[in-house]
Amino acid sequence: MSKGWENWTTEEIAEFQADFLVWYQQEKRNLPWRYNHDPYRIWISEIMLQQTRVDTVIDYFYRFMEEFPTIKALAEAPEDKLLKVWEGLGYYSRARNIQAAAKQIMEEFDGDFPTTVETIRSLKGIGPYTAGAISSIAFEIPEPAIDGNVMRVVSRLFCIEEDIAKASSRGVFDEAMRAIISPTEPGDFNQAMMDLGSSICTPKSPQCESCPIQNYCQAYKENRQTAFPIKSKKQKPKDVYYVAGIIENNQQEFLLQQRPESGLLANLWLFPLEELSETRFKELQSQYAPEAWDLFSSSQVAEDSPEFFSEQAVIWQKKIIGEVKHVFSHLRWHILVFYGRSSTPLTLQGTWVKPNDFPKYVFPKPQQKMLEVFENNRTDDKD
């Protein structure tokens, strides 16, 4: 494998760093976690930015810092309060990990954020990328922060043909970054790489004419920009099928169920779900296709209403009020949403909650989507 960075002279590397950093100072994004070098703020922002767009993170970051301004406040916060602030960001294990790490900092580092790459890496939920970002931005340690954006930039810069989807390839990009990272301004250098990858050196149709390192880019010289990075296709998410029951009692309360303490969406609240086969899902989809009916009309409940959840004493409306789809990293949920009423106690485990109290419960995205479907139906029926 050719290592193009080994062909650069010391002078060329210095020139590259200078040109790149000048561009960054002129074009860097105005982001709230860049106002200072506080490792706590940098850490929280980097965890939030995993699998999430910058525009989405900004408001969450402000709210998080208002609720938990210090490591101590985060460590001592009730988990349900933390998850409520995190609600909607997804990947809730991230929130639980940062709280575990905050407690670790309080216990093992006397409340002070650790200052070396090794000690930062020892914190719960912090891997090589996050450790590199924190150590370089907060403490000016020349440690690479290698994410997808950075691998794309570097793969084009040196025409690296290693598959970025393979964990074994990370060492190649680490070696390349260590050869070119600024030893005096590593934090700005890493952030310049992030900004370049997100705004100019994009996956498709890179804006090479606007690129500040165009003159150094081997892929540009060879007109092979779109050939990089090399990335094998990841496995498609598995399809899983559910029916959801929005069940209301005579007190205008709705049944919510809490997920188990571990696993997907741990401890979060949803309307009752029942897993179905794909065949049964499609049968229900066809049999109870939505019609222009009043959501609460008694004429729509009949002997052929659907039966779910071990035939609970629920009178189900004879139509699907909506369909929800949600993609996790490894699963794709398909949910048919039904509305029903119950006037007798149910054997289903759960908690009856009035709509005004919904904000007290942490709802993941699938629940928010189901609730939106229901609210839209109620609004439509009132129009």
Distance CA 81, CA 79 (A): 5
Distance CA 5, CA 359 (A): 53
Task: Identify residue 139 by its one-letter amino acid code.
Answer: F
Q: CA torsion angle for 372, 375, 379, 381 (degrees, to 10)?
A: 120
Beta-bridge partners for 316: 340
Distance CA 162, CA 280 (A): 44
Distance CA 218, CA 241 (A): 47
| Identified catalytic residue from 27, 46, 209, 375 | 46
Distance CA 358, CA 354 (A): 7
User: How many Cα atoms occupy the beta-carbon half-sphere of 315 within 13 Å?
Assistant: 15
Q: Active site includes 46? A: yes
CB 122 within 8 A of CB 114: yes
Q: Which two tokens stand for residue 362?
A: 């942490």
Q: Kind of pairing, strands 254-258 and 315-316?
A: unpaired
Q: Distance of CA 145 to CAs 135, 178, 182, Å? A: 9, 10, 12
Q: Which two tokens stand for residue 42?
A: 């940098």
Which positions are catalytic?
A: 46
